[in-house]
Amino acid sequence: MQEISWILLLEILYTLIVIATCLRIIYDTSSTSKTLAYLMLTVFFPFIGIVIYFCVGTNYRKRKLYSKKIVNNELMQRHIKKQIFRESEKTWNTVPQALLKYQKLVKLLLNDGMSNLSGNNKVEILKNGEEKFPAVLRALREASHHIHIEYYIYEDDEIGNQIKDVLIEKARAGLQVRLIYDDFGSRSIRDKVVDELIAAGVQAFPFYRILFIALANRINYRNHRKIIVIDGGIAFTGGINVSDRYINSEKRPDQLYWRDMHVKITGPGIYYLQYLFICDWNFCADEELVPQRDFFHAREDNGGNAILQIAASGPDSDNPTILLSLIQAIGMAEQEILITTPYFIPGESLLDALVVAALSGVRVVLLVPGKSDSRVVAAAGKSYYGDLMASGIEIYEYQKGFIHAKTMVSDKQLSVIGTANMDNRSFELNFEVNSVIYDSHTAEEMTRIFYQDLEDAIRIDPVEWDKRPLYKQFPEKLGRLFSPLL
C-alpha cells in the first residue's frame, strides 16, 4: 500500500512538472511551430523531452546573455549612435542610382543593429582556404598596432600553428594581440596552443566557457563568428574557420574537397566588425576593452569604392537581424537570387519569402551539398524541396565535395557573404555575422563563381522528386516536425 502511495505521489509530481514546463514553453517561446515542437517533446517523451527543452529551448533573446554595447555610458552611446546615422546618411548620398532600391535594407540594418553604412571599401573575394590563409598570414605579418581574432573553430593543426607563430611573434614585438575562441568549436587548442599564446603575451579567452553543470545549454549557444581585424583598417570574415580541412591540397589527394567563401575588407566597412569584437571581448574577458582611436583607423584611399554594411545577430540582439535582412533582400530582388548554403532549414518566414519571389517572376537558384555531414539536418532540409520546386525554384546538389559557403547574390548588384547558415540555429541560437555588400563589381564576381559551382552540381528533377517512394519521404517528414529545434 505504501509503495502504491509513492508511485501515485511520483505520478502527481511528474504531471505537475509537465504542466509547469508546458506553461513555460507557451509563455517563453514566440514561434508557434517551435512551441508545438517543444510541447510534443515534453508530452510524448517522458523526462527526455523536458531535459531537451531546458538544455536547448530557453529563449535567450528574452534573457539576453549580455548587453551589446561598446560603452556603458548612455550619453556616449547616444552620441555614437547619432554619429553613425550621420555618417551613414552621407554615404547613402553617394550610392549609385542602380543601388538606390536597397534603401529599406540599409535602414533595417541601421535601425535594428546600428550597423553603419560605409563607402570607400576595397572588397576581395577569397575562395577556399587556398586563397584565404595566404592573404591572412600576409596581413598578420604586416600588422603594426593590434590584431583581434575571433573564431568558432581554431584547430591545433598546421595552419593553426602557422597563425599561432605569427601571433606570438607580434605579441613579443609589443603589439596588442587578442583572441576569442569558442570553447566548444575550438576545444583542441584549449590547453597547449592557448597556453603558448598566453605565455608569449597574447590575451586569449573562450567566448562562453563550457562548465559541466551547464554543458548542454552552453554548447547550444555558440559563437559561430569568424572575424579578424588588423590595425583598425583591415578585416577578414566569412565561412572559413582556422583548420587544415579548408585547404584543398594536391599533397592530400584523399582529403574531401571543401568549397567555402571568405572576404577581405579594407576600409571603414570594418568598423562594425571591430565593434562586435570589442563587445564580445568585454563579455568574455576579465578586462574591459575601452575603444581607442587606433581601433578605428581605416584609410579611405585604398583603391576601392564598395559600399557595405555588416549584419550581426545572436542571443544578444533584440531581433533575428540576419534573418530579417535576408528576407528584406529577397523581397527586393527583381531578376535573380543565387543562394549557397550547407544547411538549409528555412522556417516559414524565409520559405514564404523565397516562394513569393519565385512566383513573382524572380529566378531563384539554391545550391546545397550533395552529401551533408548531418543526416538529420539534411532530411529536415529536403522536406522543403517539394514546396520550393513547386513554385519554380531550382535546387542543385553539389557533387565535387562538401560546399560550406554561406552566400547570396541578387541581381548582380547585392552580395551577402558570412557565417550564417539558412537554419534556425544560425538565426536564433548562434552568434553570427554577415557582410552585406552593395557593389556591382563584387556581385558580378560572386555570380560568376556561383555558376562555376553549378558545373559541379546536379539539378534535382521536380517530377522525379515527387515520384520517390514513401519510405524515402518518411525521414524527411519526421525531420520537418522537429526542424524548429535543429
Residues annotated as catalytic (active site), given as ranges: 224, 226, 231, 404, 406, 411
H runs (alpha helix) in 304-346:
321-332
d(CA 73, CA 271): 20
CB-count burial class (<10 Å; 0-12, 13-18, 19+) for 312: buried
Q: Are the C-beta atoms of 427 and 347 separated by less than 8 Å?
A: yes
Q: Are the C-beta atoms of 182 and 220 separated by less than 8 Å?
A: no
Q: Are the C-beta atoms of 258 and 404 separated by less than 8 Å?
A: yes
User: What are the cell numbers at 364?
Assistant: 531563384
Element (H, E) at 396: strand 394-398
Q: Are strands 432-438 and 414-418 parallel, antiparallel or unpaired?
A: antiparallel
Q: Are the C-beta atoms of 414 and 282 separated by less than 8 Å?
A: no
Q: Are the C-beta atoms of 133 and 159 separated by less than 8 Å?
A: yes
Beta bridge partners of 265: 123, 235
DSSP string, 288-342: -----GGGS---S-SS--EEEEEEEESTTSSS-HHHHHHHHHHHH-SSEEEEE-S
d(CA 343, CA 472): 19
CB-count burial class (<10 Å; 0-12, 13-18, 19+) for 308: buried
